Chain A
Amino acid sequence: EVQLVESGGGLVQPGESLRLSCEASGFTFSSYLMNWVRQAPGKGLVWVSRINSDGSSTSYADSVKGRFTISRDNAKNTLYLQMNSLRAEDTAVYYCARGLGIWWGQGTLVTVSS
């Protein structure tokens, strides 16, 4: 059974950093493009970042470019999102998703507030 389990969310102050993790199981993690998608409270979905299967290519939404870094450890079946210089508008549930959204995790809530 495919499982994606996010962790690392929490309450941080503006300007601080946080690293999210997404542990994958039930499929060959190293074969798939992976993504982070976020959803602000009561709002729609926004694709944040993607990384190809071997980690050699990454892409970011303009809103996070230069502040967020996506990475993966295929030996650990884990996807990461390093988030620096966090802003109030980054407050959201962050989901990891496989490929073009065939599988999603349960999400982890990031709250940026003073």
Chain B
Amino acid sequence: DVVMTQSPLSLPVTLGQPASISCRSSQSLVYSDGNTYLNWFQQRPGQSPRRLIYKVSNRDSGVPDRFSGSGSGTDFTLKISRVEAEDVGVYYCMQGTHWPFTFGGGTKVEIK
């Protein structure tokens, strides 16, 4: 199985400051169709996951533009340009290239 490794595990951030989460995969996530199926999810406390980013860098509808995704191959990053109080939660990267699809262990974003 493809192992997704996220860092850091915990990310205390000051309101209005940027935040960055790293995700590395144990093998390339480039699919045979040329796409890279790397997604980012946010899970707020007590809620279902919500997809923020698909195929590395595409924001889902309704996702604020302070969220951005980048990367290629095996190295990916989720950035929040200015953290707001509603961004508190756990963030997961997930690969949809190789079955079984796998998630990273999660990064807990909290406000300092």
What residues make up the interface of A, taking CB atoms closer than 8 Å to B?
37, 44-47, 50, 59-62, 95, 100-102, 104-107
Chain A: minimal CB distance from B9 (Å): 11
Whether A45 and B48, one on each chain, are in contact in the complex, defined by CB atoms closer than 8 angstroms, is no
Contact of B103 among A46, A59, A106 (CB under 8 A): A46
Contact assessment for B48 and A47 in the assembled complex, using a CB-CB cutoff below 8 Å: no
B100–A45 CB distance below 8 A = no
Q: Shortest beta-carbon distance, B94 to chain A, in Å?
A: 7
Chain B residues close to A by CB (< 8 Å)? 37, 39, 41, 43, 48-51, 54, 60, 92, 94, 96, 99-106
Q: Would you call B49 and A95 a contact (CB within 8 A)?
A: yes
Knowing A44-B105, A59-B99, the reply to whether A95 touches B48 (Cβ < 8 A) is yes
Q: Is the CB of A104 within 8 A of B48?
A: yes
Cα–Cα distance between A85 and B108 once the two chains are bound (Å): 34
Instruction: List the B residue with the shortest CB-CB distance to A103.
Output: B51
B51, A44: Cβ atoms under 8 Å?
no
| A44-B106, A45-B94 given; A106·B100 CB < 8 A | no
Tell me whether A105 and B48 are in contact (CB under 8 A).
Answer: yes
Tell me the nearest residue of chain B to A61, going by C-beta: B100
